[in-house]
Structure 1
Amino acid sequence: MVTVRRSIWHEPRPAGARPVGRLDWLLVGMFVAAALVEGIVRPDVAWRPLVSVLALALIPALLWRRSRPLTAALVGWGVAGLLSVLQLTTHAGDLGLYSMIAVPILLYSLVRWGSGREIVLGTAFVAVVVVLGMFASSATWADVFGGTVLLLLFVALAVVFRYRADLWHRRQREIRNQERVALARELHDTVAHHVSAIAVQAQAGGVVAGVQPEKAVEVLAAIESEASRTLEEMRSMVRVLREEDAVACSPQRGVADLLALARADATPTVEVSLNGSLTRLARPVDATIYRLAQESLTNAVRHARSATRVGIDVRREGDAVRLRVSDDGRTEPGPAPEPGFGLLGMAERAQLLGGSLSAGPAPEGGWVVEAVLPVETPT
């Protein structure tokens, strides 16, 4: 119980409170008009001028109900308490106006928008005012029960909307975290791909430097271009990762961008083949195909021994799309090695979309990565 009290006491104000807008001013105007009309047409209200002035004094507190909920509740319920004291000391009749329904609204706003400390202090004050009012009006047990149920209804509604909004904000944070994880994976894939390409070009430059110096200059220019592209992509992704709020991310690459991976002027050469209707894939499938192909290409460039060619083939097969990345590298005899974290992550991506991924040595030599994904993501 002590832990619960401490957690409530230290609970911060909920996020997402809107500033004062036209609807708030309209609400205040309606209550002001109602209070003025009641002050004129209800002769049964005792101390009518004073009660009308007090009612008009508390109504502007509605404008603070989200920004300063405790202050607004203290003002509104303070006026209600003052009327109860006046009724108790003067033995006057009914001192309430129907427009005083604004006071329970302030209780709702206190629980909906207040911090834990404000809720505890404010509801304690409200409880004292309610008890005083019931005593001053000599309320019957039926009145006590009805009034208590009404106030608890306002509190319950506030709690429901408060924690519903809290769940929504938590869900938004989870979505942003998932987006950051996806961006971090893309950052890894991008850097690994480009650095592997730079390493291959640097090795080629070392070979031709002594024989064809002019070719070495071309290789250095290609390395510079690749490094600049890598830095640009890294900076854009890191900028997004640093953002605290949700941001509009740049469009993810897809199957159409695979053609940019093809190259014929380096070893190994990369050949890309796209077959079938690949323009209406679901966005997650489209992006996953590109990332799987890119990472498979990176692995082939890094690890395929004596490879001269890497083939990337994507084809539509009914309601599925098949990706096949193969190389002609030399494989060691014996059992296939255990899959590393990269392959496990690729298989996990495919499984999340309802697909599958396999990787291993090909019968004719080399290494093959094959993935099959549904065209539409599962619902």
Structure 2
Amino acid sequence: MRSASPQGCIRGFGLGALLAASMIDLAYADSMGSGIAPVAVVLAAGLAAVLWPARRRPRWLTARVRTTVPALCTLLYCAGALLTHGRAPFGPGKAIVLLCLLFVAVRHAPPRWAPVCAFLAAGALLTLPVRAFGPGGEETLALLLVGLVLIGLVGGLAGYLRSMDYRRTVAVGETRRAERLAIAADLHDFVAHHVTGILVQTQMARMMAASRPDELDPVLAGIERAATQALASMRRTVGVLRETGEGEPAERRPVGDLAGIEDLVAGFAGPHHKVTLRRAPTVSDDLPHEVQAAAFRVVQEALTNVRRHAADATEITVGLRQDGDRLEVSVTDDGRGGAQLPDAARGGGFGLVGLRERVTALGGELHVGPRTDVGWEVRARLPERKP
């Protein structure tokens, strides 16, 4: 047998208290001889607005309707009592219902309608002592003061919870956007790099098949290696998407550091590309991970763009050197733009945009442009310590 949860007990107690207070209102109306029917109608409208289950609530029963209709019914009932110079009973049931409706109006009503709905609910609450004791009496003034205090407390609590809901929504949206950007960066930095290599080497293999078939084996081995690396990158990205725990396994995170640049250069070299890595001895391996990852991305994006836009390049130089308190990363080539890739494979410029954002976020500088003689140059200066 399942035990009742604390939340369920609180809801049950609140429901019982609300129904008991409503029964007191009906008993007051019957004892004063003012008629039970009008009080029952007003209470029924308010209780339906407060207690109707959210899952079974029709679409037209919005927060705006739930708050305005019972408040208007109360105001009309009060106006009728004042016009006929009669006294209507004052009980806790309608007051509690109107406070609940005030809470709903402030927290859940649309922004444009929230002030209107809250004003109607608060006004209806303040009319209860007026119609019961008449305007100007001491009891009326005391109850109006209590009503104003309750309106301030309930409205303030509802406004605070609404602001928390908004902050939570904004935080969730920002988190999702950051996750999308991270996934897009991983797909571009790793998968697109390997797929571009597959495409270029496949074109090379087709050209060599007729003239130099004996030299195809290294090219095919490069295609196999790039395909294997692309699959591994895809598995890492999918693993990040499927990860449900708070801690993300390190082996599922796409990696990149200064040591990985050597493997990157070795994997890029081919029969028609000579890649030289010039790393100064003063460059330390103890740089922050963010700086090493940014350096890795600079080299990776530059080599990918060589394949896409300068497939005729024969000499590519990757440089790593220390310039004061900054790490300078450079990639130069001697290509003349002789790429034969289809337009769909040339990219849309997102790589350089993301690369500039990454470098700038670390307080670094990025230069991309043609060299003075021939070819293209990508040069980044990264601070050796995080800002």
Q: Is the TM value for this pair above 0.5? A: yes
| Distance in 1 (alpha carbons) for counterparts of 2:285 and 2:185 | 24
Which residue of structure 2 lines up, in the alignment, with residue 259 of structure 1? Answer: 262
Paired AA for residue 325 in structure 1: V
Paired AA for residue 374 in structure 1: P
TM, length-normalised to structure 2: 0.59
Identity across matched positions, percent: 31
| Distance in 1 (alpha carbons) for counterparts of 2:147 and 2:131 | 13
Which residue of structure 1 lines up, in the alignment, with residue 181 of structure 2? Answer: 181
| Distance in 1 (alpha carbons) for counterparts of 2:106 and 2:214 | 73
Which residue of structure 2 lines up, in the alignment, with residue 358 of structure 1? Answer: 367
Quick one: structure 1 residues 76 and 124, their matched pair in 2 at CA, closer, same or farther if it must change by over 3 Å? farther
Paired AA for residue 198 in structure 2: I
Paired AA for residue 293 in structure 1: V
> By how many angstroms is 1:345 displaced?
5.0
Which residue of structure 1 lines up, in the alignment, with residue 82 of structure 2? Answer: none
Which residue of structure 2 lines up, in the alignment, with residue 269 of structure 1? Answer: 274
Native 8 Å contact 1:326 1:369 kept in 2: yes
TM, length-normalised to structure 1: 0.60
Determine if the alignment matches structure 1 residue 321 to structure 2 residue 327. yes
Paired AA for residue 294 in structure 2: T
Which residue of structure 1 lines up, in the alignment, with residue 171 of structure 2? Answer: 171
Determine if the alignment matches structure 1 residue 372 to structure 2 residue 373. no
Quick one: structure 1 residues 320 and 22, their matched pair in 2 at CA, closer, same or farther if it must change by over 3 Å? farther
Which residue of structure 2 lines up, in the alignment, with residue 48 of structure 1? Answer: none
Secondary structure of the corresponding residue to residue 379 of structure 2: strand
Which residue of structure 1 lines up, in the alignment, with residue 143 of structure 2? Answer: 143
Which residue of structure 1 lines up, in the alignment, with residue 233 of structure 2? Answer: 233
State the superposition RMSD in angstroms: 4.7
Which residue of structure 1 lines up, in the alignment, with residue 40 of structure 2? Answer: none
| Distance in 2 (alpha carbons) for counterparts of 1:82 and 1:133 | 18
Quick one: structure 1 residues 224 and 112, their matched pair in 2 at CA, closer, same or farther if it must change by over 3 Å? farther
| Structure 1 residues without counterparts, runs of 5 or longer | 1-19, 29-58, 63-71, 333-339
Which residue of structure 2 lines up, in the alignment, with residue 281 of structure 1? Answer: 288
| Distance in 2 (alpha carbons) for counterparts of 1:226 and 1:151 | 67
1:85-100 to 2 correspondences below 5 Å = 85-87=26-28, 89-90=30-31
> By how many angstroms is 1:297 displaced?
0.8
| Distance in 1 (alpha carbons) for counterparts of 2:21 and 2:119 | 14
| Structure 2 residues without counterparts, runs of 5 or longer | 33-89, 339-347
Which residue of structure 2 lines up, in the alignment, with residue 53 of structure 1? Answer: none
CA-to-aligned-CA distance 1:221-276 (integer Å, 9 cap, x gap): 43134234324534654786799xx9959424332432321224543133445552
Paired AA for residue 83 in structure 1: I
Determine if the alignment matches structure 1 residue 83 to structure 2 residue 24. yes
Which residue of structure 2 lines up, in the alignment, with residue 197 of structure 1? Answer: 197
Paired AA for residue 159 in structure 1: G
| Distance in 1 (alpha carbons) for counterparts of 2:270 and 2:356 | 31
| Distance in 2 (alpha carbons) for counterparts of 1:85 and 1:192 | 73
Quick one: structure 1 residues 21 and 327, their matched pair in 2 at CA, closer, same or farther if it must change by over 3 Å? farther
| Distance in 2 (alpha carbons) for counterparts of 1:83 and 1:376 | 71
| Distance in 1 (alpha carbons) for counterparts of 2:301 and 2:278 | 17
Which residue of structure 2 lines up, in the alignment, with residue 60 of structure 1? Answer: 12
CA-to-aligned-CA distance 1:9-35 (integer Å, 9 cap, x gap): xxxxxxxxxxx9966479x4xxxxxxx
| Distance in 2 (alpha carbons) for counterparts of 1:374 and 1:226 | 32
| Distance in 1 (alpha carbons) for counterparts of 2:333 and 2:256 | 22
Secondary structure of the corresponding residue to residue 372 of structure 1: strand
Secondary structure of the corresponding residue to residue 255 of structure 2: coil
Paired AA for residue 79 in structure 1: A
| Distance in 2 (alpha carbons) for counterparts of 1:112 and 1:253 | 48
Determine if the alignment matches structure 1 residue 295 to structure 2 residue 301. yes
Quick one: structure 1 residues 322 and 212, their matched pair in 2 at CA, closer, same or farther if it must change by over 3 Å? same
Quick one: structure 1 residues 86 and 277, their matched pair in 2 at CA, closer, same or farther if it must change by over 3 Å? farther
Determine if the alignment matches structure 1 residue 311 to structure 2 residue 317. yes
Matched residue pairs, number? Answer: 303
Secondary structure of the corresponding residue to residue 329 of structure 2: strand
| Distance in 2 (alpha carbons) for counterparts of 1:23 and 1:148 | 31
Native 8 Å contact 1:281 1:375 kept in 2: yes
Secondary structure of the corresponding residue to residue 301 of structure 2: helix
